[in-house]
Amino acid sequence: MTAAHVEPLARAAGNKLPRAPRKWQSKALLAVFVAYVVGVVWSWMYIDMTLLTLFGGFTELWNLVVDMVPPNFDNMRVVLKATVETIWMALIGTTACVVLSIPLAFMAARNTTPNPVVFAVARAIITLTRALPTLVLAAVLTLPLGIGPLPGLLALAIHSIGMVGKLFTEAVENTEAMSREAVTSTGAGKWQTVLATLVPQVTPSFIGTALYRLDINLRESAVLGFVGAGGVGFVVQQHLRSLDYQRAIAAVGVIFVVITLIEVVSTRLRASIIGDHLSSPTKKTPRTMARERRDHRLLVDAVTTRRLTPPWTYERLVRASAGVIYLVLIVVAFATIDIPYLSALGLGDEVIDSFGRLFPPDFTTAGPELWQGIRETVAIGFIATTLGLVISVPLGILSARNIVVNRFVYGTTRLFMLALRGLPELIVAVLFVAAMGLGPVPGTLALTVGTATFMAKLIGDALEEVSPEPREAVFATGASRAQEFVTSVIPQALPNLVSQTLYMLDVNLRSSTVLGIIGGGGIGFLLLSALRVLQEPTVGAIVIVIFVIVYSIELIGTFVRWLVE
């Protein structure tokens, strides 16, 4: 889930204690809370959600999974080919968005922008690209570009600019100013100063963000095939349509393995680049200690001999090897993906003409269905966020190393959460729709699963980052573990929890706009229907409505996070 973004958001909250709110801020927060509760109650009634349908949906999903066993792997050649195409789409799309986001970030950052006009334009581009979900962009791009990986790749690149550009901009603005002032005092020009001081500071953050976005894009590219935009999602869709469940679950299993492996690898690389591995509480093995002794000798030798280049420690070897492997993979991806580059270069006019046919938008042809889709989209987002929060809180507590002292408990919980995160929400939604039929309830349950596992990870990470001093002070008074948790842990983690809940509501409202494309309710079903019959003005109206919904929620979420923080 996708997905902005989340790790930098959790890290930004850090261990800061909330400031005392002013009177008007307290009233505003109370009004937001009441509005949220009212929204949840209305949403529950609107989509006719009951406890029976809630638990019955998971029962029907389990029955479907039982029918899918044993998986049929005789079509693995097609599945693996589509999976490789999925990986190449994610890799190329992420690379393209990073290349485009770097100059945008320097133009959008307050401390490096050339002038206010460039600043405003760069910020507008970053905001606009973030507002339309990837699947919606891919569906619209299939009109001029046809079926294949090209529209999916472009959709990934365009939408990713919104998140990557925003985080890159924040990294540039948060750089330390003293070194920049020192270099400027020597007479260096503006861009000489940027290259000498800003670039070295932001490079680790840029690489970490790019790896995180690659993880998100891989999940999103796995479902782009549902709108004909390439990847393994098309194979899963074909098997489900023909009721070939054994082959479908085999393809889903391949997606799960690939996504899980890449998440583990990218997490390890991010830790190496940012330095999180240095504070890891995991038990050291003899092999790890021997490696650390070797690295220590190399560092001491480099200092005593006054070497001008850093030594080749284990972590530096890991980073360098990852860089070489990435360069090889990106070359192979460009060389092997099924995209006619020469003919694609001439499609620019056709793409512009196709988008031009979306306007003026037609809000009347699908008027009643359009507003019903909007209401379903909002209701799904509210219910999925609330149910996901209820499930994620105990999971997050059990996954925090500093809260649960039993290594087996938190290790098993983390492994369980990683396993559930291995499947994209839309793949889970497809399974729920296949088990329960069309409608908003299966889409809501699918988003609930994704929200619960994703938010549980955020809660666990936030709990592990709480300051230990208040906890030790409470323990010193003779308090029990439960009393200590309530009085010293919850107050520190609560602002972070509120921010994450708002963020997940934002993410779920974006996701619920596309659930209808696979039959999970919301405005996406109307979009797919309009695309199939080439009602382009209606498509334009739906795209505008989706943009307004997502952008409005983002503005509200930003305001509420400002109130909380």
CB atoms within 10 A of CB 36: 17
Dump pLDDT digits (tens) for 428-479: 887 788 777 778 888 888 888 888 888 888 788 778 777 778 877 887 888 7
Is there a cis peptide before residue 394, judged by omega within 30 degrees of 0? Answer: no
C-beta neighbour count of 76 within 10 angstroms: 14
pLDDT at 263: 79
**DSSP annotation of 114:** S
Q: Span 14-43, mean pLDDT? A: 74
Q: What is the 3-state secondary structure (H, E, C) of 28-77?
A: HHHHHHHHHHHHHHHHHHHCCCCHHHHHHHHHHHHHHHHHHCCCCCCCHH
CA 381 to chain centre: 16
How long is the chain?
Answer: 565
Contacts of 117 (CB under 8 A, 6+ apart): none
Output the pLDDT for position 444: 86
Q: For residues 541 and 361, is the Cβ–Cβ distance under 8 A?
A: yes
Q: Distance (Å, rounded) from C-alpha 427 to C-alpha 219? A: 9
Report pLDDT for 565: 62
Average confidence score pLDDT of the chain:
79
Q: What angle do CA 43, 7, 230 make, to 5 degrees?
A: 75
**Which string of b and e fits 82-112 if b means at least 16 CB within 10 Å?**
bbbbbbbbbbbbbbbbbebbbebbbbbbeeb
Ranges 34-38, 160-164, 394-398, 427-431: which has the least confidence? 427-431
Contact between 248 and 239 under an 8 Å Cβ cutoff? The reply is yes
Using the predicted structure, report yes or no on whether residue 262 has a pLDDT greater than 80. Answer: yes
- Burial per residue of 306-338, b for 16 or more beta-carbon CB atoms within 10 angstroms, e otherwise: eeeeeeebebeebeeebeeebeeeeeebeeebe
pLDDT for residue 29 is more than 50? yes
Q: What are phi and psi of 283, to 5 degrees?
A: -70, 135
Q: Per the structure block, which two tokens stand in for 91?
A: 């890799």
Does the pLDDT value for residue 423 go beyond 80? no
Can you give the pLDDT at residue 357?
78
For residue 344, the model assigns a pLDDT of 66
Per-residue pLDDT at 166: 86
Q: Which comes out higher in pLDDT, residue 216 or 11?
A: 216
CA dist., res. 433 & res. 429, Å (int): 6
Residue extents of the structural domains in the chain = 1-46+359-565, 70-295+312-356
What is the reported pLDDT for 9? 43
Spell 454-492 as b/e; 16+ CB within 10 A means b.
bbbbbbbbbbbbbeeebbeebeeeebeeeebbeebbeeb
Whether 70-295+312-356 and 1-46+359-565 are alike in CATH topology: the answer is: yes
User: Which of 69-73, 186-190, 231-235, 271-275 is least confident?
Assistant: 271-275
282-298 residue pLDDT tens: 456 677 677 777 767 77
* pLDDT value of residue 504: 79
Q: Say how far apart CA 445 and CA 58 lie, in whole Å.
A: 8
For residue 249, give the 3-state DSSP assignment: helix
pLDDT of residue 96: 92
Position 14 pLDDT exceeds 50: no
Q: Is the pLDDT of residue 540 over 80?
A: yes
pLDDT at 99: 93
pLDDT, one tens digit per residue, over 91-112 is 999 999 999 999 999 898 888 8
Domain 70-295+312-356 has CATH 1.10.3720.10: yes
User: Does 1.10.3720.10 match the CATH number of domain 1-46+359-565?
Assistant: yes
More confident: 280 or 352? 352
Q: How many CB atoms lie within 10 A of CB 185?
A: 9
State how far Cα 480 lies from the chain centre. 38
pLDDT (mean) for 198-224: 84
> What is the reported pLDDT for 94?
92
Please enumerate in sequence order all residues whose Cβ is within 8 A of that of 549, keeping only pairs 6 or more positions apart, or say none.
374, 377, 378, 509, 513
Distance of CA 561 to the CA centre of its chain: 19
Which region among 88-102, 205-219, 353-367 has the lowest average model confidence (pLDDT)? 353-367
φ, ψ (nearest 5 deg) of residue 69 = -95, 140
Q: If you average pLDDT over residues 199-218, what whole number do you get?
A: 84
* pTM confidence score: 0.76
